[in-house]
């Protein structure tokens, strides 16, 4: 029998139902794997007692024949989701001791469907980053290594050598799924934070349409862009998990009142007769030839499966990233105003209330977060609002119209690379110029700006043996087509062989 930690969610669900193993055994196998993988720094908090209690409850449900859609499935939860009574930090010092007295809608939906929580996952602070290097808990080590690299598990429990980043901001989620430390993980995506780490780690990640998933109880970064989604090892697993995470929520007015389709049923639909667009503006300078080759391969796979391929134009693509770096920091500066050292979180005393605020926030926020709050404050300040913020929101309208025109011409989905390069090493990017790091999101950020769904699917390895991903962008609320086309790519590429546990 396959190791329990190497099952897919679909296989585990079927095995539990057939009583081949119990939810308790499945949880125990994962707790042991997590225990041996501390050096990866993927989990910031492990909750084994909670996992075993939830697994026991699942075993009782299964015994009574009342198994729910995610019954007994052990998951990792990104530390951006508030979990009742369990420390939730957003990987920031400012929330270091925060124990929410409530549960986020996404996690509550998963528990209502029977899922089991293994712990909280590392991430970039407040989800601001593309490499997991901005976390107050330190970076996550990618389970992937370049061929012939010197990275190894050191004697002291510390990783030796220059390791790779897992991407970000959902770096802990992607690393945990790729290293078999959970069957699936929750993640969030504001500019690419699900799809870029999925591409870097050979996993599947979907950012659903804005409004598909409730944002209630998820620590806010940029409210008009943030959406939660799953990271899993297969397209089918992403479909199973997204269905449980989604749905209307009275507590979030931007969460739509639309029924959630049976995404798993869409996985086997195929792409026969679908029109897939290839946007010429995504052929950017400096894109690696391997990514170009992979993209071409993806086109051929979809064509062979019966899709019609058409070239399309999204003329405002190059302006999405600069517009994002106005809109997202502006919203962040407003959202993060709540961390004042008064109602919750870290406090540094001062001689008056203003000094208390200034010292608390200086001590609690990391460098990247401070930088973004300050940019946001500047672009919203008197005299600059129209020149920066209003202009960026107008450009956002143009970006959305680009997509609307393409879809009005009958295109069902758009195929692009997920990232311009494979994973890079820790400390390699953004130390001098923050924009160098931001360019990671060049292919993913347009999707958030337009509120559309996007999925990253592993499609091959580069010459160094590192995974590369393709992205499919869909019409609003048509995640089903993404699962159908994603499965075609997964079938054609073959499941990526994930790394052996060299860290254990």
- Which residues are identified as catalytic? 78, 169, 193
| Selection from 282, 109, 123, 255 nearest residue 193 by Cα | 123
98 binding another protein? (CB under 8 A):
yes
CB contact at 8 A, 483 and 204 = no
373 binding another protein? (CB under 8 A):
yes
Contacts within 8 Å (CB) and 24+ apart, 287-295: 287/417, 287/420, 288/420, 288/421, 288/422, 288/462, 290/422, 290/462, 290/463, 290/468, 291/417, 291/419, 291/420, 291/421, 291/468, 294/417, 294/459, 294/460, 294/468, 294/470, 295/415, 295/416, 295/417, 295/470
Residue 195 or 236: the one with the smaller Cβ distance to another protein is 195
Shortest Cβ distance from residue 163 to another protein (Å)?
A: 25
349 binding another protein? (CB under 8 A):
yes
Q: Among the candidate windows 173-181, 228-236, 250-258, 463-471, which touches another protein by CB under 8 A?
A: 250-258
Spatial CB neighbours of 432, under 8 Å, sequence gap ≥ 6:
none
Residue 162 or 313: the one with the smaller Cβ distance to another protein is 313
Residue 158 or 431: the one with the smaller Cβ distance to another protein is 431
CB contact at 8 A, 482 and 413 = yes
Which of 9, 40, 450, 473 lies at the binding interface for another protein (CB under 8 A)? 450
Which of 209, 234, 246, 471 lies at the binding interface for another protein (CB under 8 A)? 209
| C-beta neighbour count of 292 within 10 angstroms | 12
Max Cα–Cα distance, the chain, nearest Å: 70
Report the distance separating Cα 144 and Cα 461, nearest Å. Answer: 11
Which of 46, 308, 358, 428 lies at the binding interface for another protein (CB under 8 A)? 358
216 binding another protein? (CB under 8 A):
no
Question: By rule CB under 8 A, what count of residues binds another protein?
Answer: 74
21 binding another protein? (CB under 8 A):
no
497 binding another protein? (CB under 8 A):
no
HEC readout, 213-236: CCCCCECCCCCCCCEEEEEECCHH
Residues 167-196 that bind another protein (CB under 8 A): none
Shortest Cβ distance from residue 453 to another protein (Å)?
A: 11
DSSP 313: -
- Determine the 3-state secondary structure of 73 from DSSP: coil
347 binding another protein? (CB under 8 A):
yes
Which of 451, 453, 454, 467 lies at the binding interface for another protein (CB under 8 A)? 451
101 binding another protein? (CB under 8 A):
yes
Residues 302-341 that bind another protein (CB under 8 A): 316, 318-319, 322-323, 325-326, 333, 337, 340-341
Residue 24 or 193: the one with the smaller Cβ distance to another protein is 193
392 binding another protein? (CB under 8 A):
yes
Location of structure tokens 């931001």: 438
Report the distance separating Cα 86 and Cα 289, nearest Å. Answer: 45
Report the distance separating Cα 268 and Cα 56, nearest Å. Answer: 33
Report the distance separating Cα 361 and Cα 377, nearest Å. Answer: 14
Residues 405-434 that bind another protein (CB under 8 A): 433-434
89 binding another protein? (CB under 8 A):
no
Which of 65, 351, 408, 500 lies at the binding interface for another protein (CB under 8 A)? 351
223 binding another protein? (CB under 8 A):
no
Location of structure tokens 């075609």: 488
Which of 353, 410, 463, 497 lies at the binding interface for another protein (CB under 8 A)? 353
């Amino acid at each position: 029998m396959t190791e329990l930690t190497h099952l897919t969610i679909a296989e585990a669900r079927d095995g539990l139902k057939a009583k081949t193993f119990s939810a308790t055994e499945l949880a125990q196998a994962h707790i042991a794997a997590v225990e041996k993988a501390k050096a990866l720094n993927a989990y910031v908090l492990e909750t084994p007692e909670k996992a075993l209690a939830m697994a026991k409850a699942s075993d009782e449900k299964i015994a009574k024949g009342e198994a729910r859609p995610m019954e007994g499935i052990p998951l990792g939860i990104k530390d951006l989701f508030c979990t009742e009574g369990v420390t939730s930090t957003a990987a920031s010092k400012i929330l270091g001791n925060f124990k929410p007295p409530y549960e986020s809608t996404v996690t509550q939906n998963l528990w209502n469907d029977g899922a089991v929580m293994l712990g909280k996952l590392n991430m970039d602070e407040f989800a601001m980053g593309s490499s997991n290097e901005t976390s107050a808990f330190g970076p996550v080590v990618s389970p992937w290594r370049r061929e012939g690299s010197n990275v190894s598990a050191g004697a002291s429990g510390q990783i030796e050598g220059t390791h790779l980043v897992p991407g970000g901001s959902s770096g802990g989620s992607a690393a945990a799924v790729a290293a078999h430390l959970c069957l699936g993980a929750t993640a969030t995506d504001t500019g690419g934070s699900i799809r870029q780490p999925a591409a870097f780690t050979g996993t599947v990640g979907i950012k659903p349409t804005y409004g598909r998933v409730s944002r209630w109880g998820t620590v806010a970064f940029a409210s008009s862009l943030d959406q939660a989604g799953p990271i899993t090892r297969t397209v089918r697993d992403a479909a199973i998990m997204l269905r449980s995470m989604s749905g209307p929520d009275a507590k979030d007015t931007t969460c739509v009142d639309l029924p959630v389709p049976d995404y798993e049923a869409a996985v086997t639909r195929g792409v026969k007769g679908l029109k897939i667009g290839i946007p010429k503006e995504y052929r950017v300078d400096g894109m690696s030839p391997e990514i170009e080759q992979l993209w071409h391969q993806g086109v051929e796979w979809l064509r062979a499966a019966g899709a019609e391929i058409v070239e399309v134009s999204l003329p405002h693509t190059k302006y999405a990233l600069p517009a994002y770096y106005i809109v997202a920091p502006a919203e962040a500066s407003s959202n993060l105003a709540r961390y004042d050292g008064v109602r919750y979180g870290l406090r540094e005393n001062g001689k008056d209330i203003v000094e208390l605020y200034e010292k608390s926030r200086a001590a609690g926020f990391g460098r990247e977060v401070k930088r973004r709050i300050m940019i946001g404050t500047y672009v919203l300040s008197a005299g600059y609002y129209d020149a920066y913020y209003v202009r960026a929101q107008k450009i956002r309208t143009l970006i959305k119209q680009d997509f609307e025109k393409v879809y009005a011409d009958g295109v069902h989905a758009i195929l692009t690379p997920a990232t311009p390069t494979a994973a890079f090493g820790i400390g390699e990017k953004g130390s001098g110029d923050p924009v160098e790091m931001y360019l990671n999101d060049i292919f993913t950020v347009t999707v958030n700006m337009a509120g559309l769904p996007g999925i990253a699917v592993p499609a091959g390895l580069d010459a160094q043996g590192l995974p590369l991903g393709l992205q499919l962008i869909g019409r609003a609320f048509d995640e089903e087509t993404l699962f159908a086309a994603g499965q075609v790519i997964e079938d054609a590429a073959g499941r990526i062989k994930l790394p052996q546990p060299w860290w254990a």
